[in-house]
């Protein structure tokens, strides 16, 4: 925002880029009223980092952890405080609203907490102890929602809230993430209408060409902020704006709407954060930073498939090439690093990074470890792999060539050692912290492949497991917590600290981080193979006047002319500051 420009004048100019036929001054007044903002408000300072090296986030469903006679949100809060208060700074609770399908992503009421999960008071208690991320399921809404029932009845609010098209329209260019039909026939008081369903017939796309829909969501955002939510995950936002005859993904209006939402959010709560969820090829994903005026964070969607591919092939060439191509995030923006989530391992983010044979080899390996594959339909009618559905612990149970081996736990920890050290904010899916395997019973029960990595756990049984010394769940949990604790004390692991890729061969993946004050350097070096590797310290260029120690093992480097021996899947963080 330029000097002397008010919030309202900035907002009007942005709205005019989207709603050319509207009186944008009036629309701006309505949005400011919905958000509770004054139009003459001063600009929010740009390029502010609302995170540091201590930020580590957890991803979980509201009802992943359960205890008899207790609401799951109460149970979740209790487990977070007991087991993770010293490890995480924030928690992403996946959609906790009333829903009709897709484990919460088919929202029926944006302003209510699912009664089976708990209440807004439970949400506020969690937000009082942790930074809270919530989903703004902004692209679509449940076909069983009140808005959609009003659409059928031709009543407000809802009559013009959903995107319609005709089977006669040329939709051949539309990019699809699913194989289901794009249009669904619906009987209304005005006869048959065809609504646009990017994901399923129960998830009907909203029509943001109607500014009333934007106004509704601004009011929803304000309510979330008032309940303590400070991080907004814009779900499936790439598909937000539709124009017949275009791919209907990444349209400029979508980018402008994200800028508008960010502008309003940060003027209401200057420390709030916007994250875009765009499971697309890497170059497309990067566009959601804008000019540091769209998303504060973007999901690093290429990291999970590339890192898993690296560890099962024992070759880091593609991971290293990708890391060298990633631009440093501007101040006020950064990456959200994750390896696993409630969804599968996306294959679209490997476009341009892995060739077709390499993709198929990865798919074959994951299937041999018990994984499944979900597909999307291309413009020419072909079904292409969209994501691999598998629990991360089982995804790393062996190698592409050798199959299942005894290095599963070491390989799994190595993956997270790498993630924790990379530029950006690390996020752990709860089932990764717990080293949960494939849940075939849940897949059978729900009929959905993604359920393989969405197990529900008895909290009391979890307490028992984590208190024991000899099961892999407890061993992994303790080691990951230990690594998290180390990471959170290092200025060189600030999400925006300098990062350079090292060249140490194909079996060793390394990079260098340096703190903003240049008072700490960390060389992060990882053996991504099942064979022992010897690394000459001269190849790393450690400064001879500094004292170097491996933060992970405590090993002190006594002879800089010597070497470091890395066992299979061992990582070291060589730092000149303890």
The set of catalytic residues is: 235
Q: Which of 429, 554, 422 is nearest to 494 (CA)?
A: 422
Q: How far apart are CA 282 and CA 94, in angstroms?
A: 24
Half-sphere exposure of 39 (CA within 13 A, CB side): 14
Q: How far apart are CA 117 and CA 103, in angstroms?
A: 12
What tokens were used for 295? 């998303």
Cα angle, residue 40 at apex, residues 35 and 41 outer, rounded to 5°: 65
Q: Are 329 and 423 in contact (CB under 8 A)?
A: yes
Q: How far apart are CA 433 and CA 338, in angstroms?
A: 12
Fill in the DSSP letter of residue 247: -
Q: Using CB atoms within 10 Å of the CB of residue 449, give its burial: 0 to 12 exposed, 13 to 18 middle, 19+ buried.
A: middle
DSSP 537-563: GGGTT--TTS--EETTT--B---TTSE
Q: How far apart are CA 419 and CA 413, in angstroms?
A: 10
SS3 call for 536? strand
Q: How far apart are CA 208 and CA 317, in angstroms?
A: 42
Give every CB contact of residue 224 below 8 A, 6+ residues apart in sequence. Answer: 134, 136, 232
Cα separation values, 577 from 269, 492, 520, 550, Å? 36, 10, 6, 10
Q: How far apart are CA 396 and CA 405, in angstroms?
A: 10
Q: Which of 407, 390, 404, 291 is nearest to 345 (CA)?
A: 390
DSSP 3-70: TT--HHHHHHHHHTTT-TTS-HHHHHHHHHHHHT--TTPPPPPSS-----TT--EEEE-TTSEEBTTB
Give helix then strand counts, H and E, for the chain.
Answer: 17, 26
């Amino acid at each position: 925002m330029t000097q002397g420009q008010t919030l309202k004048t900035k907002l009007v100019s942005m709205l005019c880029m989207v709603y050319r036929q509207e009186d944008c001054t009036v629309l701006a007044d309505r949005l400011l009223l919905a958000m509770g903002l004054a139009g003459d408000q001063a600009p929010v300072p740009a390029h502010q980092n609302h995170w540091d090296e201590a930020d580590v986030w957890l991803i979980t469903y509201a009802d992943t952890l359960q205890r008899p006679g207790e609401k799951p949100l109460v149970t979740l809060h209790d487990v977070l405080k007991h087991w993770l208060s010293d490890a995480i700074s924030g928690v992403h609770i996946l959609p906790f609203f009333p829903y009709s399908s897709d484990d919460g992503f088919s929202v029926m009421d944006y302003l209510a907490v699912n009664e089976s999960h708990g209440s807004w008071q439970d949400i506020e208690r969690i937000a009082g102890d942790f930074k809270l991320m919530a989903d703004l399921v902004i692209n679509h809404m449940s076909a069983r929602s009140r808005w959609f029932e009003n659409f059928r009845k031709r009543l407000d609010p809802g009559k013009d809230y959903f995107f319609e098209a005709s089977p006669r329209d040329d939709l051949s260019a539309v990019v699809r993430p699913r194989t289901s039909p794009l249009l669904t026939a619906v009987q209304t008081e005005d006869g048959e209408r065809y609504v646009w369903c990017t994901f399923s017939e129960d998830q009907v796309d909203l029509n943001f060409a109607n500014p009333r829909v934007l106004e509704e969501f601004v009011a929803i955002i304000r309510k979330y902020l008032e309940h303590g939510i400070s991080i907004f995950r814009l779900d499936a936002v790439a598909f937000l704006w539709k124009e017949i005859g275009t791919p209907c993904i990444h349209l400029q209006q979508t980018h402008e709407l994200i800028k508008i939402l960010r502008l309003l959010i940060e003027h209401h709560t200057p420390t709030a954060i916007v994250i875009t969820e765009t499971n697309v090829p890497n170059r497309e994903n990067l566009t959601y930073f804008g000019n540091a005026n769209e998303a504060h964070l973007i999901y690093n969607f290429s990291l999970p498939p590339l890192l898993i591919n690296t560890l099962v092939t024992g070759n880091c060439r593609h991971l290293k090439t990708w890391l060298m191509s990633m631009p440093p995030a501007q101040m006020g923006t950064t990456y959200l690093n994750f390896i696993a989530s409630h969804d599968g391992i996306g294959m679209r983010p490997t476009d341009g990074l892995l060739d077709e044979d390499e993709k198929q080899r990865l798919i074959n390996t994951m299937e041999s470890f018990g994984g499944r594959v979900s597909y999307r339909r291309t413009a020419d009618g072909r079904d292409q792999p969209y994501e691999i559905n598998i629990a991360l612990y089982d995804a790393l149970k062996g190698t592409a060539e050798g199959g299942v081996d005894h290095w599963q736990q070491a390989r799994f920890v190595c993956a997270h050692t790498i993630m924790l050290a990379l530029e950006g904010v690390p996020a752990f899916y709860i089932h990764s912290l717990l080293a949960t395997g494939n849940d075939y019973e849940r897949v059978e029960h729900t009929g959905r492949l993604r359920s393989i990595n969405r197990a529900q756990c008895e909290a009391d049984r979890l307490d028992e497991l984590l208190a024991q010394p000899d099961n892999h769940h407890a061993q992994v949990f303790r080691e990951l917590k230990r690594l998290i604790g180390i990471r959170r004390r290092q200025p060189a692991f600030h999400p925006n600290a300098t990062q350079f890729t090292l060249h140490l061969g194909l079996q060793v993946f390394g990079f260098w981080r340096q703190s903003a004050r240049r008072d700490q350097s960390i060389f992060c070096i990882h053996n991504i193979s099942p064979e022992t590797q010897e690394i000459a310290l001269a190849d790393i260029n450690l400064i001879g006047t500094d004292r170097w120690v491996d933060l992970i093992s405590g090993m002190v480097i006594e002879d800089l002319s010597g070497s470091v021996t890395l066992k299979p899947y061992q990582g070291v963080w060589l730092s000149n500051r303890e």
